[in-house]
């Protein structure tokens, strides 16, 4: 093709492409005013896809999305134990289109143990808590420790001999264990692992003696007889494990710290939007399908209003910061 012809073809192509471009452009522009919500809402999840804190929002989100009438787009931001996700929401526009799928670890614990993190839970507006999950303390089924009392007695006689693994330094299950250690006055060596998977492999392989861990991934191992649960860090006995005493029952009530899931919004988000979310959440939670789905991933429904949520967060912050100060998780 000669130069001149090529340019002509080029202009023609250009026009077609611009037209195509505009055609794509127009549907993307939607009127910003009018009823909330009128476009997709971004849900920031401060954990990896498929992780514990991600499944809950996904399940509930499907129903809430139906109720609100717009898609909820999940954005996973697991960096820095979820701090990156939380920080992003604190900086987002308070127009109700960016919502945080909150859990107590990234929102309350991480700021206490990580000096680089600039927020506290007060930099966000609570919407509601919708579910929680309990942690338990497991041992291998062939372990000589049959009850909590056996364990504590052995540990007292043999300080520094037993080991426990954790899913990570800044995890709620680990804190429960440490609080229990303190209350019982025993010395058990901590071995950190990265993630529930490696911890499960370690306890099954007999590399650590104990493992405080979320109930969900170990339930089938317990039922199959590979693991035994000594105690559950919950207020009431778990439905799936009616024979297992709670930490409260065996005398360590302070170590009860469930992992809860909820939603939060940037400061300044208008009250009507928060209320609308609350209505949607309550309606979704009353759906039996949602209830059973959540239970399948070991989440128990537990709705808490924004005011109660604030109280819960304040209480947890107190317990956790006290413990951090005592030198439990030293950070500079």
Partner 1 sequence: MRGDQSKPSAAKRGIFPEFLGGLILALFGSLVIHESRKLALGDLRAPGPAFFPFLLGCLLTIVSLILLVGLSLGKVESKCGQWKGVHWQKVILSFASLLVYSLTLESIGYILGTFLLSGFLFFLMEKRGILLLFGVSVLVSLGFYVLFKQILFIQLPQGIIPF
Partner 2 sequence: MDIFQGLIYGFSVSLQLSNLFACLLGVVLGTVVGDLPGLGPVAAIALLLPITLKMSTVASIIMLAGGFYGAMYGGSITSILVNIPGESASVVTCLDGYPMAQKGRAGPALAISAIGSFVAGTLSILGLTFLGPLLAKFALKFGAPEFFSLILFGLTMIAYLTSGSWIKAVLMAALGLTLRTVGADPIEGTPRFTYGFTSIMDGIEITAIVIGLFAISEVFFNIERTLQNREILSAPITGLWPTCRDLRVSAAPIGRGSLIGFFLGIIPGIGPVVPTFISYGVEKRISRHPERFGTGMIEAVAAPEAANNAATGGSLIPLFSLGIPANLVMALLISALMLHGIQPGPLLMRDHPEVFWGVITSMYTGNVFLLILNLPLVGIWVKILKIPYFLLFPLIILLCVIGVYSVNSNPMDIVVMTLFGGIGYFMRKFGYEAAPMVLALVLGGILELTFRQSLIFFRGDLTLFFSRPIAAIFLIAAFLVILSAFLPGLKKIRSQVPGE
Residues that bind partner 1 in the complex, under the rule CB under 8 A: 6-7, 10-11, 13-14, 17-18, 20-21, 24-25, 28-30, 32, 39, 73, 75
197 touching partner 2, by CB under 8 A: yes
Angle at 113 between CA 109 and CA 117, to 5 degrees: 90
Beta carbons of 30 and 60 less than 8 angstroms apart: no
Reported as type and span, the H/E element at residue 264 is: strand 259-266
Q: Quote the DSSP letter at residue 242.
A: T
Task: Name the minimum Å distance from CB 301 to partner 1.
Answer: 27
Pick from partner 1, partner 2, none: which does 17 bind, CB < 5 to 8 A by kind?
Answer: partner 1
Q: According to CB under 8 A, which residues from 142 to 171 bind partner 2?
A: 163, 168-170
Pick from partner 2, partner 1, none: which does 26 bind, CB < 5 to 8 A by kind?
Answer: none
Pick from partner 1, partner 2, none: which does 145 bind, CB < 5 to 8 A by kind?
Answer: none
Task: Name the minimum Å distance from CB 319 to partner 1.
Answer: 27
Rounded Cα distance between 263 and 272, Å, is 15
Pick from partner 1, partner 2, none: which does 198 bind, CB < 5 to 8 A by kind?
Answer: partner 2
Q: According to CB under 8 A, which residues from 233 to 292 bind partner 2?
A: 292
Residues 6+ apart with CB under 8 A from 282: 303
Task: Name the minimum Å distance from CB 288 to partner 1.
Answer: 28
Pick from partner 2, partner 1, none: which does 296 bind, CB < 5 to 8 A by kind?
Answer: partner 2
| Tally of CA atoms within 13 A in the half-sphere of 248 that contains its CB | 8
Rounded Cα distance between 154 and 4, Å, is 91
From the list 19-27, 108-116, 275-283, 300-308, the region that binds partner 2 by CB under 8 A is 108-116
Angle at 200 between CA 198 and CA 203, to 5 degrees: 110
Beta carbons of 303 and 128 less than 8 angstroms apart: yes
98 touching partner 2, by CB under 8 A: no
Interacting residue with partner 2 among 156, 223, 315, 326 (CB under 8 A): 223
From the list 16-24, 32-40, 58-66, 313-321, the region that binds partner 2 by CB under 8 A is 58-66
Task: Verify cis geometry, omega within 30 degrees of 0, for the bond prior to 37.
Answer: yes
3-state helix vs strand vs coil in the chain, percent to 5: 45, 20, 35
92 touching partner 2, by CB under 8 A: no
């Amino acid at each position: 093709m000669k130069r001149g012809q090529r340019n002509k073809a080029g202009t023609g192509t250009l026009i077609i492409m611009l037209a195509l471009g505009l055609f794509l452009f127009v549907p993307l522009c939607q009127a910003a005013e009018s009823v909330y919500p009128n476009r997709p809402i971004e849900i920031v999840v401060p954990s990896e896809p498929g992780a514990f804190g991600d499944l809950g929002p996904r399940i509930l989100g499907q129903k809430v999305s139906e109720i609100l009438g717009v898609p909820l787009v999940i954005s996973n931001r697991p960096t820095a134990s979820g701090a990156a996700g939380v920080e992003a929401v604190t900086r987002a526009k308070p127009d109700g289109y960016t919502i945080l799928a909150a859990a107590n670890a990234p929102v309350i614990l991480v700021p206490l143990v990580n000096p680089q993190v600039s927020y506290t839970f007060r930099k966000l507006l609570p919407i509601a808590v919708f579910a929680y999950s309990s942690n338990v303390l497991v041992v291998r089924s062939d372990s000589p420790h049959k009850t909590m009392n056996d364990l504590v007695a052995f540990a007292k006689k043999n300080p520094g001999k037993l080991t426990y693994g954790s899913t990570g330094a800044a995890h709620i299950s680990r804190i429960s264990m440490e609080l229990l250690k303190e209350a019982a006055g025993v010395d058990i060596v901590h071995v950190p692992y990265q993630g529930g998977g490696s911890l499960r492999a370690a306890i099954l392989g007999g590399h650590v003696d104990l493992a405080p861990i979320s109930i969900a991934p170990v339930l089938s191992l317990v039922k199959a007889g590979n693991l035994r649960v000594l105690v559950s860090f919950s207020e009431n006995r778990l439905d799936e494990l009616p024979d297992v005493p709670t930490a409260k029952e065996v005398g360590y009530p302070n170590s009860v710290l469930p992992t809860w899931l909820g939603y939060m919004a940037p400061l300044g988000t208008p009250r009507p939007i928060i209320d609308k979310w609350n209505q949607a959440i309550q309606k979704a939670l009353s759906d039996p399908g949602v209830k059973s789905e959540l239970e399948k991933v070991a989440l128990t429904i537990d709705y808490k209003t924004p005011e109660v949520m604030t109280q819960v967060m304040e209480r947890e912050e107190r317990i956790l910061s006290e413990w951090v100060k005592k030198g439990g998780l030293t950070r500079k």
